[in-house]
Amino acid sequence: MHDLHEIDRARRLLGSARRILILTGAGVSAESGVPTFRGPEGLWRTHRPEELATPEAFQADPRLVWEWYGFRRERVGACRPNSAHVAIARLTLENEDARLVTQNVDGLHELALEEAVSEGLSLGGSVSRAAPIRLHGSLFRTRCTACDDRTSDRHPVDAKSEASLPRCRKCGALLRPDVVWFGEQLDPEILQRAMGAAETAEVCLVVGTSGLVHPAASLPLLTRESGGVVVEVNTESTPLTEVAVSSIRGRAGQVLPSLLAVDRNHVVD
C-alpha cells in the first residue's frame, strides 16, 4: 500500500505549481499490459532489450530485430491506455503550462489524449501543445535506411525471411523502426524542447522509469539545477529517488488519478 501522507504532500506540491513537466517511462504502461524493458518480463525469448535495441543488432540480423518489433507492435496494438495515461491527458489538457515528455514508443499517451478530447475534455487549450514530446520515437512509424523517408505504419510485420521485411515505397531499400536505439542521437529539436520544459518546470513528475537511460534521465536533474523540485512515482526505488523531494512507491495507475486530481483552489493564477 502506498503512503497516503506522501501522496498528500506531493499533491500539494503539484497543486501549487503551474509549470509541470511529466516524464514517463515503460512503468506507466505496465498496467496496460505492455512489458517493461528491464526485469524478467522484459526478456523476449532469450534476448535482452539492450542486445536488440542497437544499430549493430539491426545490421547483424535485421530479421531478428524486425521480428521483435513486429511482436511488440502486435502486443501493444491490443493494449488500452490505463488510468495513469488518462489522468496525465486530463492534466495536460487542463493546464496549458504542463508538458509531457515520454520515453515510450507505444502510443498510449496519444491514444488517451485523443479519447479525452473526443469526450469533450479539451478546455479550450491547444491539443497539439498537450501532445507528448516523444524522445525515443514510435513503434508505429518506419524510417528508410537509405533515403530517410519516414511514414506511419501499423501493419503486421512479415519477418519470415530477410526478403519479406518492410521496404521503402520511394527507393526500395530496407526500412527500420523509427525509434532511437542505444548509441544513436536523439532528434536535436525534440531534445531541445524537452530540455527547455525541464529547465522551466517548477515540478518534474517522473513516472515509471528506471532512470538509467540518458539523456532522458538527466531531465529531472535539469529541473532541480534550475530551482524546481522532482516528484517520483515508481514501484521501486531508482537512481532518481535520491534527487526527489517526494518519492511515492506504488503503481502509476493507482497513484496518478489521486495525485493529479489537483485541487485547483490551491492554484494562484
The residues annotated as belonging to the active site are 136
Q: Which of ligand BJW, Zn ion, none does residue 168 bind to, with CB < 5 to 8 Å depending on kind?
A: Zn ion
Considering the complex, what minimum distance in angstroms separates the CB of residue 56 from ligand BJW? 12
Q: Site residues for ligand BJW, window 43-102 (CB under 6 A)? A: 53
Q: Please say whether the beta carbons of 207 and 248 come within 8 A.
A: no
Residue 171 near Zn ion by CB under 5 A: yes
Nearer to Zn ion, 164 or 226 (CB): 164
Which listed range, 5-13, 109-117, 118-126, 208-216, lies at the site for ligand BJW (CB under 6 A)?
Answer: 208-216
Q: Does 144 bind ligand BJW (CB under 6 A)?
A: no
- In the list 11, 85, 109, 136, the residue contacting ligand BJW (rule: CB under 6 A) is 136
CB of 135 within 8 A of CB of 216?
A: yes
Is 169 one of the binding residues for Zn ion (CB under 5 A)? Answer: no
**198 within 8 A of 222, measured Cβ to Cβ:** yes
Closest residue to ligand BJW: CB criterion: 27
- The option from Zn ion, ligand BJW, none interacting with 88 (CB < 5 to 8 A, set by class) reads none
State the pairing for strand pair 137-144/150-152: antiparallel
Nearer of residues 42 and 125 to ligand BJW, judged by Cβ: 42
Residues 6+ apart with CB under 8 A from 132: 100, 101, 102, 109, 110, 113
Partners of residue 203 on adjacent β-strands: 20, 229
Residues of span 145-184 touching ligand BJW by CB under 6 A: 179-184
The values of phi and psi at residue 184, to 5°, are -100, 150
Strand partners, 23: 101, 206
Q: 17 near 264, Cβ under 8 Å? A: no
User: Shortest Cβ distance from residue 172 to Zn ion (Å)?
Assistant: 7
Question: Which partner from the list Zn ion, ligand BJW, none does 215 bind, CB cut-off 5 to 8 Å by kind?
Answer: ligand BJW
The region of 1-9, 121-129, 157-165, 228-236 touching ligand BJW under the rule CB under 6 A is: 228-236
**From 48, 155, 170, 214, residue interacting with Zn ion (rule: CB under 5 A):** 170
Q: Is 219 in the site for ligand BJW (CB under 6 A)?
A: no
Residue list 16-45, contact with ligand BJW (CB under 6 A): 25-27, 30-31, 36-38, 42
Closest distance to ligand BJW from the beta carbon of 124 (Å)? 31
The contact set with Zn ion (CB under 5 A) reads: 144, 146-147, 149, 168, 170-171, 173
